[in-house]
Chains A and B, each alone.
Chain A
Amino acid sequence: MMLWWVVDLTLCALMIALAAGSLFAATLRRRVIFFIAFGLLTAIVWARLQAPDLALAEAAIGAGLTGALLLAALPTAQPTEHKRDADRLIEWVSLLLAALLAVVLIAVLTTLLPVVDGDPSLAVTARLSDAGVSHPVTAVLLNFRAWDTLLELAVLLCATIGVLNLAPARKAPRHAGALADTLIRILLPLLILTAGYLLWNGAFAPGGAFQAGAVLAAATVVLHLGGGVRLPPFSLAQLRGLLALGLLLFLSVGLVQLAFGQALLQYPLAWAGSLILLIETGATLSIATMLSLVYLGGHPLRDWPVAGDSRDREI
């Protein structure tokens, strides 16, 4: 008992220290590295709070991919920061406001104690047998509140299209060498296997499309960093198809139920498990594509969204 107190207090202190580091470290690069460490620690905190699903997602997306994204976005030449007095003032005022907000929120939260894990989770447990999957988090995400998840996929799609519209992809940085290539050849199959495992596991244990998609995207990040090993060539139409696949499957499965007189997204009980797996598989592929493209920072092929031809500039 005592031991857990020590662990928890250390976690809390570390979190605050890392948060301060990611805000105030001397250079931008150091701040990013502090931020990645902060993400990893957050994953541990979620695990400690018995939320393994969140821990997985945080480790894969929060620390892993966001970290890679931030590192890639760092300017190559360190910009010299000229802080004007006005900037410093704004910094201090916003810090003060944030601190005030934090104190008020903590005070308010204490009025809510003790938080009882009552009716909502009971309701989920009571209907879990009708959900088609035995893991409550997956049941909520893909069945009870599937509309949320469907719209979240639309959010991701929107972010990706926004990035693709802006610019072509960045040039790959070359850290390549014989060692890196060997490492990639070992790492790649393992990452793909892990993604498949997480996807399959989602039905009865922590895992699911978002985590699996993030791991799969990590595989393309690794590929991109190497340079010796390449993705097979793909066309624009295939790329657009991969982007749309997850949302399209989700929506189609949901709409088909209407034809049988059911509600939107109401899966028949016998089919629920398989339909959820189908949706999650499509979502995994789409999520992996989207996250990879966001990491690449633009469209990987020469044109987007349609192969350019000059005839096209009509009206």
Chain B
Amino acid sequence: MSSLLVLIATLPLMTALACLLHPRGGDQLSLVASMIQLVASVLLVTELPSRSSLSHALGGWAPGLGIALGADPLAGWLVLLCALVQFATTLYARFYFCDSQARYRLWPLWWLLASALYALLLSGDLFNLYVTLELLGLSAAALCTVGAAKAEALEAALRYLLLGLIGSLLYLAGVALVYAEYGTLDVSALRTLISSSPASLASLVLLSSGLMIKCALVPLHFWLPAAHSSAPAPVSAVLSALVVKVAFYLLLRLWFELFTPVVTSAFATLIGLLGAIAVIWGSWQAFRATRLKLLAAYSTLSQMGYLFMFVPIVMALPEGDTRQFAYGALLLLAVSHGIAKAALFMGIGSLQQHLGHDEIDRLGGSARKLPVTLFAISLAGVALVGLPPSGAFLAKWALISSSLVSGQWWWMLVTLVGTLLAAAYLVRVLGAAFAPTAAAEPALPTCRLALQQPALLLAVLATFGLGFAASPVWDTLSLSPPEVQR
């Protein structure tokens, strides 16, 4: 069923062009396209039995000379994550931007961003991945300025763009080194080719640091809070849930599949250490934030930190079932954060639209006015903190026990502190929102309230869906890494 791959890769591009050519039809086109994409992604995941992969040689040329689109279960599940979040946020964005001119400007860029996400997930070629990263960075920065962009939003978008470009350039330099040494860009061929050498090490460092800028790992994180918190809510949701996540996906591919002979345990520990700093620092800043969106952006910083912190744990485990189990947990955590963070940002967007601001101290009484949204925010919070029955709870539990198995108990302490801080900053928001109204503030219904259901849908999925249905996701995910396709 390789035509599914073609559909998933080209439909967003076609939609972007259609929305550009026929702006007035953009709302309907986007909704229909995101539904088709969701169905196609579900089909893709069900078509991918464990330990197998699909591929489609573009132009009929063998990979190496040409480029192939491909998907294994890992890519498949992330495609589904993208399609799911994209569907919910598209529905949400339709009503969030009440000015139709803003929506005309939004949709082509929105779908170009989607094209970049899917093309990246389906690509099996290092240079092609660079092109998708370029498209991703450019469209993400351009999307930050849609709507009533203020000067600070423009500045944040510009900084986001420039840092994204630096990241892409570092990545490109790494690709050039790989090509110079091994003479191919095809990822599946490189799996067996790459060995330990000075050039391999240099390219690993270049590729990793380029992508780590895009993931906003401390100390390369400084662009993220401003960019993610000043963008319009639907855009923030996609940026925090998906854009940083696919960069992390590429890093996982590099570290666990391509550069395995080059990645040492010291390298992994360094990554874990940076992740641990991100967990503590991000949570602390989120706790101190005065605005909701800034809180959510710092929370993304700390949640990405967890993903990096668990890398050395997974790597220290012996190859085999225990390692696959932990790898599956890591990916479950990533997926769970993606869904929950999108829900959180959409909920915050609704609050902001209703109250006219997003200051935490002035939230009083909002729970009474927007019960659905507050429920969604609470559920998303459950998944972000990692309370049962969420998928994040299972994943964190599995990873902490793995850290004890591999004798690296110190990561557990960081997890505990981070989790407590996360609980603290979310309780702070809920406490403020459930407090009675401080003063009679006039509500500012600038336009019809953005839909509250998409946020609820994702929040329920993150907490209950991924919690109770974790095992199928986990099984296929944990089966996918290194052994396949050797």
Is the CB–CB distance between B198 and A155 below 8 Å? no
1/0 contact string of B443-472 vs chain A (CB within 8 Å): 000011000000000000000000000000
> Which residues of B sit under 8 angstroms from A248, Cβ to Cβ?
17, 21
- Is there an interface contact between A305 and B23, defined as CB atoms closer than 8 Å? yes
Question: What's the nearest-Cβ distance from chain A to residue B365, in Å?
Answer: 26
0/1 string, A47-80, CB within 8 A of B gives 1: 0000000000000000000000000000000000
Query: Chain B residues near A247 (CB, 8 Å)?
Result: 13, 17
Interface 1/0s, chain B 281-325, versus A by CB < 8 A? 000000000000000000000000000000000000000000000
Given contacts A244-B20, A313-B99, contact A262 B60 (CB under 8 A): yes
Asked if B108 and A161 sit within 8 Å, CB to CB, the answer is yes
**A166 near B145: Cβ-Cβ < 8 Å:** yes
Q: Closest CB of chain A to B176's CB: distance in Å?
A: 10
Assembly CA distance A313 to B104 (angstroms): 12
Given A145-B66, A148-B127, A161-B109, CB of A112 within 8 Å of CB of B199: yes
Tier of interface size on chain A: 35 or more
Q: Is A243 an interface residue (CB 8 A)?
A: yes
Q: Say whether, besides A111-B198, A123-B65, A263-B60, A165 and B101 are in contact (CB < 8 Å).
A: no
How would residues 14 to 48 of chain A score, 1 for a CB under 8 Å from any chain B CB and 0 otherwise? 00000000000000000000000000000000000
Chain B residue at minimal CB-CB distance from A250: B13
- Whether A143 contacts B59 by the Cβ 8 Å rule is yes
Q: Is the CB of B109 within 8 A of A258?
A: no
> Interface with B: A4-12, A113-121, A177-185, A188-196, which one?
A113-121
List B contacts of A123 (CB < 8 A). 64-65
B41 to nearest A CB, angstroms?
18
Smallest distance from the beta carbon of B127 to chain A beta carbons, Å?
Answer: 7
**Cα–Cα, bound, A258→B3 (Å):** 9
Residue numbers in A under 8 Å from B66 (CB-CB): 144-145
Q: How far is the CB of A93 from chain B (nearest CB, A)?
A: 13
A146 touches B59 (CB 8 A): yes
Q: Select A258's contact among B6, B115, B139, B146, beta carbons within 8 Å.
A: B6
Query: In the assembly, what is the distance between CA of A315 and CA of B96, in Å?
Result: 10
Q: Mark A237-257, 1 if CB is under 8 A from B, else 0.
A: 000110110011001001100
Is A147's CB within 8 Å of the partner chain B?
A: yes
Contact A108–B138 (Cβ < 8 Å)? no
Say yes or no for B58: interface residue by CB 8 A criterion. Answer: yes
Given that A123-B64, A165-B145 are known contacts, is A154 also in contact with B13, CB under 8 Å in the complex? yes
Given the known inter-chain contacts A118-B183, A144-B65, please indicate yes or no for A263 contacting B56, CB distance below 8 A: yes
Max count, chain B CB within 10 A of own CB: residue among A143, A158, A255, A258: A158
Q: Is B424 an interface residue (CB 8 A)?
A: no
Q: Given the complex, which residues of B lie within 8 Å of A155, measured CB to CB? A: 131, 134-135, 138
Q: Is the CB of A159 within 8 A of B177?
A: no
Known: A251-B13, A258-B6. A265 touches B21 (CB 8 A): no
Interface residues in A259-315 by Cβ distance below 8 A to B read 262-267, 304-306, 308, 312-315
B128 within 8 Å of A (CB atoms): yes
Contact pattern, A 142-177, Cβ under 8 Å of B = 1, otherwise 0: 011111101110110111011001100000000000
Docked complex: A95-114 residues within 8 A CB-CB of B: 104-105, 107-109, 111-112
Cβ of A239 to closest chain B Cβ, rounded Å: 10
Chain B residues whose C-beta falls within 8 Å of the C-beta of A154 in the assembled complex: 13, 16, 112, 115-116, 135
A20 smallest CB distance to B (angstroms) = 20
B180-A161 in contact (CB<8A): no
Q: A155-B135, A265-B58, A306-B104 are in contact. Are A162 and B109 (CB under 8 A)?
A: yes
Residue B74 is within 8 A (CB to CB) of chain A in the complex: no
A112–B58 CB distance below 8 A: no
Contact of A266 among B60, B65, B95, B134 (CB under 8 A): B60
- B3 touching A158, Cβ below 8 Å: no
Give the complex CA separation of A118 and B98 in angstroms: 57
User: Are B199 and A264 neighbours in the complex by a CB distance under 8 Å?
Assistant: no
Q: Is B152 an interface residue (CB 8 A)?
A: no
21 residue pairs A–B, Cβ–Cβ below 8 Å = A105-B173, A109-B199, A112-B180, A120-B184, A124-B65, A148-B67, A154-B135, A158-B135, A158-B138, A161-B105, A165-B109, A165-B142, A165-B145, A241-B21, A243-B20, A255-B10, A262-B60, A266-B58, A266-B59, A305-B104, A306-B23
Q: Top 9 nearest A-B pairs by Cβ distance?
A: A162-B142, A266-B60, A108-B202, A265-B59, A263-B60, A151-B131, A158-B112, A165-B105, A147-B58
Q: Beyond A147-B59, A306-B101, list 9 extra A-B contacts (CB 8 Å).
A: A108-B199, A152-B131, A154-B13, A161-B105, A240-B20, A240-B23, A248-B21, A258-B3, A305-B20
